[in-house]
Amino acid sequence: MSLWDGSVARSGNAQTKTKIKDACYGPGESEDIEECKRFCEKYGIEYHVVDVSARYKEIVLEYFKSEYRSGRTPNPCIMCNRNIKFGAMLEAVSGLGIKYDYFCTGHYARIVRPNKGVWETDIRPFMIGMASDVFKDQTYFLYRIPSEVLSKVRFPLAYLKKSEVLELARKANLEAADKDESQDFIAKEYRDSLFSDKQSVPGDIIDLDGHILGQHKGIEHYTIGQRKGLEISVGYPVYVHSIDAKNNLVILAKKEELDSSSLIADDFVWPGNIEPPKAFEAMVKIRLASKPVPCKVSRYLKNDGDYKGNAWLIEFEKPQRGVAPGQSAVLYVDGVIVGGGVIAKGVK
């Protein structure tokens, strides 16, 4: 899967020799493609590279920029998995006339199918369950993949730990055993250039009482919960509490003031497209790095926002810090994803 088209330039001094950390989107892709090619040649595996860069730019990059410029915190990996890796890539494979039984990837996740129907129905959709390696679990990124696609997906690493996978790779003398992990969407050296299509608009940084603390360089450079890089000194640690895109403001607060008792999310997806008929209890992840926490999920019936589809209220058992609009709230029951949506706002 080729994503990189070279349209985003490296920011700063192009002559610097500093090694750029590997990322999903970047010029290092060519090395990955060649590494895969060598592997397939060695083991006699048919190998194809499909160019999905145009779709990636249209769907993922434009979404990423638009969300940040709207004062929200996007998750490009979720958008990429749904629309590119398990979408455009499979369409391109079919376009080559290649028929396949299963599509296998190296995600740390598992495919499950309930013995009983979901939400009091007889429908048994294919669903995503958490991997055995809880520290590498990637199910949060995969929650929007439709059940019909999952029916032909397999995750071979579902019951292995990362340490075990690396050991197997070393025993097989695979190059991948010594390869650095790629965790970032885009290297920081390219991020500013990605936003260079429009001029950043500086504005005020304020506290919760409206006092001006300084100036920001453009709201697309900030995210909820951020502490580093604020260049503000008020005598105590401050974090990005919220972003007011309408008034071009970045609002800072103390750490404890970032807590929310609940959140409202919309744009939901449910396994088999079956929406829960009533409120239920679940575990929820509000970002990849957070642990699932207990919550109650119920339909949000107030008409106080422009929500996409039905909105749902997720009430935490204990207040959670740094609820970020634009991120996803992914719901689990017994370690299996039962649905998820995009956070519209936190509720104090």
- The percent of the chain in helix, strand and coil, each rounded to the nearest 5, is 25, 25, 45
- Location of each CATH 2.40.30.10 domain in the chain: 257-347
Structure tokens at 151: 């029916």
- Location of each CATH 2.30.30.280 domain in the chain: 202-256
Asked whether 125 and 111 are in contact (CB, 8 A), the reply is: no
Answer whether CATH 1.10.3720.10 is correct for domain 202-256: no
Report if pTM > 0.85: yes
List Cβ<8 Å contacts ≥24 apart for 188-194: 189/10, 189/11, 189/12, 189/20, 190/8, 190/9, 190/10, 190/11, 190/23, 190/25, 190/26, 191/11, 192/11, 193/8, 193/9, 193/10, 193/11, 194/8, 194/61, 194/64, 194/65
Separation in Å, CA 275 to CA 161, 166, 345:
33, 40, 21
Architecture (CATH level 2) of domain 257-347? Beta Barrel (2.40)
- Location of each CATH 3.40.50.620 domain in the chain: 23-189
The closest of 324, 331, 242, 268 to 294, measured between CA atoms, is 331
197-225 tens-digit pLDDT: 899 999 999 999 999 999 999 999 999 99
Separation in Å, CA 212 to CA 72, 205, 230, 235, 310:
21, 6, 13, 15, 37
116-147 tens-digit pLDDT: 888 989 999 999 999 999 999 999 999 999 99
Q: Give the per-residue pLDDT at 15.
A: 46
Mean pLDDT by 10 residues, the chain (348 residues): 86 55 81 91 94 95 95 95 96 94 96 91 96 94 97 96 93 85 76 88 95 95 92 91 96 94 97 95 94 97 90 97 95 97 94
Q: Give the per-residue pLDDT at 13.
A: 53
Gap between the Cα atoms of 269 and 8, Å rounded: 32
Asked whether 205 and 212 are in contact (CB, 8 A), the reply is: yes
Gap between the Cα atoms of 293 and 151, Å rounded: 28
Architecture (CATH level 2) of domain 23-189? 3-Layer(aba) Sandwich (3.40)
